[in-house]
Amino acid sequence: MTAMPEVGKKAPAITLPRDSGEGENTKVQLSKLKGQNVVLYFYPKDMTPGCTTESIDFSTLAKEFEAQNTVIIGISKDSVERHDKFIAKHDLNLILASDEDGAIIEKYGVWQEKKLYGKVYMGIVRSTFLIDETGKVAAVWPKVRVKAHAQAVLDAVKSL
pLDDT value of residue 20: 80
Count of other CB atoms within 10 angstroms of residue 41: 27
Percent above pLDDT 90 for the chain: 93
- Element containing residue 81 per DSSP (H, E): helix 80-90
Provide the mean pLDDT of the chain. 95
| 56-70 pLDDT, tens digit each | 999 999 999 999 999
- Looking at the domain assignment, is residue 4 inside a domain? no
Amino acid at position 151, single letter? Q
- Looking at the domain assignment, is residue 8 inside a domain? no
Count of other CB atoms within 10 angstroms of residue 125: 19
Number of domains in the chain: 1
Question: Is the pLDDT score of 72 beyond 80?
Answer: yes
Amino acid at position 117, single letter? Y
Alpha-carbon distance 52 to 158, whole Å?
A: 24
- The predicted model gives 76-88 an average pLDDT of 96
pLDDT value of residue 108: 98
Residue 18 to residues 21, 50, 67: CA-CA distances in angstroms?
6, 21, 23
- Looking at the domain assignment, is residue 9 inside a domain? no
CB 58 within 8 A of CB 66: no
This prediction's pTM: 0.95
| CATH number of the domain bearing residue 60 | 3.40.30.10
One of 16, 38, 51, 104 is an active-site residue; which one? Answer: 51
Annotated active-site residue 51? The verdict is yes
- Looking at the domain assignment, is residue 1 inside a domain? no
| 26-59 pLDDT, tens digit each | 899 999 999 999 999 999 999 999 999 999 999 9
- Looking at the domain assignment, is residue 106 inside a domain? yes
Residue 51 to residues 2, 37, 127, 140, 160: CA-CA distances in angstroms?
23, 22, 11, 18, 26
Closest CA to 15 of 124, 136, 98: 98
- Looking at the domain assignment, is residue 10 inside a domain? no
- Looking at the domain assignment, is residue 143 inside a domain? yes
- Looking at the domain assignment, is residue 139 inside a domain? yes
Split at pLDDT 50, 70, 90, the class of 21 is low
Alpha-carbon distance 26 to 6, whole Å?
A: 29
The residue segments making up the domain with residue 91 are: 15-24+36-158
